[in-house]
Every structure is written in structure tokens, then in C-alpha cells.
Structure 1
């Protein structure tokens, strides 16, 4: 079997099955957005890593600083989804030898700006020669042992919530692809995504959240990931999705659905909350309730009709849309 036939998620599960465990591993490879280690004391140590490529992950319109920013933000978003605070980041860069030094300096400045904005620092890394600019970030974080939020944990009847405005990054991608004018605010959602570190920490502190992850690979795929992890289903309502008015004006109906549900690129948090604790969650950060947990399946209600929501979104190795 070829990797492209298997797909990213199935490959990760196969790799994870080949790895040995350890008594200090709370969450291991392939089980969540971060690995979690028990190092003693009151906190868990969290580790996450992401690889980004110039051609695949960075639209050509992005500046060098924005490339650096995104390279850090993608790792911080994983920490945010566990309710963790960052404690340091290491960055490795594979750099084509004919790259201008000033370009790489700007990339590093963008990395530092993002890390500093969210209370942490770049503490090391590595460089080597590479055919294509490739950046690998590894973020370290910590969370109180009673505050760790996993993908699993949702219970039937829990409310499904999101931060921010899903579909904004997808709208930016659409506009760039079609070469149509779009506001800088919409482009910024794609080029300078905001990792919800402070929102994640605040939500974790309430004790109201039963499961959580980010939706950078798309809302639909994230719902399926949480469904599989927690052995529950979800039903969301298209009319409740908090899409920005500017995005609604930019996209036609089906394009809007695609951007908000499938495209990805939004670094928002998707989480579930026990109904009797929703006000605690609301006090922690702005949120929108978009559905509820059900016994099985993943569904969306559109124009009065309930449809099965396909497990489709951004996934490496596969052709997008499969």
C-alpha cells in the first residue's frame, strides 16, 4: 500500500502502534494534539511538534515575518487545545543555500514576535541545507494535572462550542485562489493566525470543559477526531456557525459552507461543555454554542435538513477533497 492511499491519520496510528510505552507517558504518540508526560510535581509536561513547507503550507503572498509567525503559532495552538501554558519553543529550519540572509532574519523575527506575544521564547533549534524551506517547531508547555483537557471526554448532551469565527481563513484561501479582492482582516486570519493560548488556559481553569482540540485541519475533521476519541457523536447547526459578515458577503452559499466546515486554517478551539456549566465557560472567554454531543455519528443541520457530515478536511498525503 502507498502512503497516499493510507492518508495522514491512518499512517500516524500505524506508527504509534510500533512504539513502546512508558510509565511516565500520560498521553502518547497519536492519541491527542500533544504528548503529555508526568515528570512529578503538580504539573504535566506537554510536547508538540509541527512541520511546515514553503510550497505546501505558506501561500506565496505571505511575508517572511508571517512565515515565522505561523511556524510558531501552529505549535502554540496545539498547547492551547490542552489548556496549557507555553514554556519554550525550539525551531529547526531546512534552508535552500541560495536564500537571502535577510529573508531568514525576517522569518526568525516573526517567530520571536509570535512567541513573545504569548508569553514564551524561542530557546534553541537547528539549521541545515534543504531543497525547499522547511520549518519544524517543537513547543513545550505545562498544565496543572487537574486541568488537562483531552480530545476525549465529551458526554452525550454536552454543548459543542467554538471560539472566534470559523471560515475566515478558508475565505482568504478562496480569495487568493480566485484572485479576488479581500480585506486585510480576512487575509490576516490566514497569514497571522491567533493561537488561543489565553482562551485555552482560561477554559481549563473553569473545570467546565469536557473535551477540546483546535480546528486548524477543518471543523468537520476535528469533530470526527473528537468523536472517535470520545466514542460519542455530534450534531451541529449551520445557522449557528459564527461566520463573519464580511465572509458571508464574499462567498456564495456552497463556498461559505466549504470554508466554514471543511477548508481549515482557522486556529480556533472546538470544545464541549456540560450544559449546567456553560455560564462558567462564557465567563472564561467569548464562545459560540454550535451544537451538542449525541450518541453516535457526526451530523449538520442545514436549511431544516439533517445531513451526515463527512470526515473531510486538510490531511497530508491524500488529495484534498477525498
Structure 2
């Protein structure tokens, strides 16, 4: 029986899980982790290593603000994929891109995008190794990133334990605040705008965390902190208690965007595009994680029946809603 439900009604995550149920990843013994359950697929390539592979599609109207230069578009197209590779603790080993342009696109525009991709790949310690180009009604870029990781250092979304500390790299809500500034013609400094326009994949931090052995589970926050917390909660059967006072918010947000504490918290929780790492750490290994990279401890893993909540500065516990950046149905 066919299902005539529009994809816009179920959203990206539900559609991915539905399609993953159709795909048979269990037929190949070399596939360690298949579609749907993590940031990357994981392939067994040797006795010591896995290869991780991810792909992402970006569009002019939904993913690239008009203020972005061609170079920034290229950087972003690579960065979103390298962020997924980083979330597995892997070292990037190549990037491929399929690009669709309208027929009247200037060659210099395409060259600028390619230069941005190349610079991001170099920043992540690798290179652009291939791809494809075609004509398209809308600028559309599909990137594919590959990485390698020692089997003993592979990090996944599953593994959080009650009592673990919840940590993030960098700031929360900066990209969302930058987008708000752009959409509302608010003058903001480059230090804030670049969090949206030139996001930094946390590749080096992730590899150091993987080597530390301190991390129990990890993913990136590209769809927002709240959405990522709910993803981890569902997969691990746990809850989270986040401390509002510990949310790392970039100082420029309160200086240029808003000084309202409620709005700052909503930006930190419910806006996407930061490409930071969200991870849990065993309490006795926190010092090792802190030695691996700069991080912020923002809460604790709790029993699943307690839900995912934020402890407000007032002392009240409020539910963190399952919302953030989504595609298809947002």
C-alpha cells in the first residue's frame, strides 16, 4: 500500500529513519555502522582502522545566506561534512563534491566556491579529491567526506551513562544569533558573523578527545543543541539536566543582539549551524578530556524518566523542547 503523506509533514529525521528501514546494510560484513544511526557510515578497512563516510546536500535558498561570498559557500559546503567526520573522532582523508549551477553562473563564482572548499579541506588536513558538475535551477552542492580512525578510538552517538558529564566545544547559539542579525539588518562584528559564514569543523579537538579515551558518546550540534540532546537521549535511553548558567554564550551576542537572558538561552538551545561537538564524559575522565581540548561542562546525564531539562538560574527545572534546525518540514 502506498503512502501519500507529503514528506514535509514528517520532517527530515523521521524520513531518514523510514528510509533506513528500507536499506539493507546488514548484507555486507564490512559495514560496521550503516545508514540512519550516526553522523557517518563506518566501514571496516583493516585490522586497526575504520573508514567513516558522510554526505550532505546544501542549497542556495535554505543554506547559503545572500551575504555569503563564493569562497564562504565553498568553505561551508566542506565544513558541514568534515564536522560529521570529526564527530566520529576520525582524521579526514578526502572530500568530493557534486555541484549544480545555473547556465548563466559566472566562472569566477564557481572558482571562488572551489577555492573555499580547497581551503577548508587543507585546514582539516586533507584535500578535494574529485566530484562532478552539472546544470541546475538552483545552486546545489552535495559534499562527501571520508575519514579514518583507529578502531579503539571510534566515537559514536551511543554510549552515554547516567552520571556522565555533558560537554560542548566552543559557544552555543552563535550561528543562530548571526543569522538573526543578518535577517534583521543588525550590525554585528565579524567575530560573530563568521560563526555562521565560516564555521570551523572541530576536527583537531575531536581527534584529541578520541585519543583521550574519556568520551562515552559524541555528535555535532549542526541542528542545534536541544535537537542534539534529544537525539542522544533517545538513542541512549537517558535524560539530560543542563545548567542554564553554564551554557557558553559568545559575549558579542549580548552586546549586539540581545541582553535578555531568556532570549540568550533560546538562541543557545534552539538554533543550529554552530558545528560544535556535544559529548559525554565519564566523571573520572573529565580531567583527561579537559587536557585534550578546551571544553565547557554544561550538565549531567540523568535517568531517562527525568527527561531532558534545563536547570534555570531561578532554580526551576524546565523541559528542553525537541526543536531546532530541520529540513523538509521546518
TM class by smaller structure: over 0.9
Secondary structure of 1:235's counterpart equals: strand
Note the 1:1-322 alignment, pairs <5 A.
1-20=5-24, 21=26, 22-249=28-255, 250-251=257-258, 252-296=260-304, 297-302=307-312, 303-319=314-330
Higher mean C-alpha displacement, 199-208 vs 37-46: 37-46
Q: CA RMSD in A?
A: 0.8
CA separation in 2, counterparts of 1:78 and 1:247? Answer: 26
CA distance in 1, matches of 2:218, 2:29: 24
Q: Deviations over 1:195-253 (max 9, x none)?
A: 00000000000111000001010000000011111111111011101112211222233
Aligned counterparts of 1:97 and 1:42: Cα–Cα separation in 2: 46
The answer to which of 155-164 and 249-258 deviates more is 249-258
Equivalent position SS for 1:221? helix
Q: How far, CA to CA, are the matches of 1:63 and 1:301 in structure 2?
A: 40
Q: How far did 1:19 drift? A: 0.9
Aligned equivalents of 2:263, 2:297: Cα separation in 1: 22
TM-score by length of 2: 0.95
Which segment is superposed worse, 246-255 or 95-104?
A: 246-255
- Using structure 1 for the length normalisation, give the TM-score: 0.98
Q: How many residues align?
A: 319
The structure 1 segments of at least 4 consecutive aligned residues displaced by more than 6 Å after TM superposition are none
Greater shift, 16-25 or 70-79, is seen at 16-25
Instruction: Give 1:145 shift.
Output: 0.3
How far apart are the structure 1 equivalents of 2:152 and 2:182?
Answer: 43
Aligned-residue offset at 1:10: 0.6
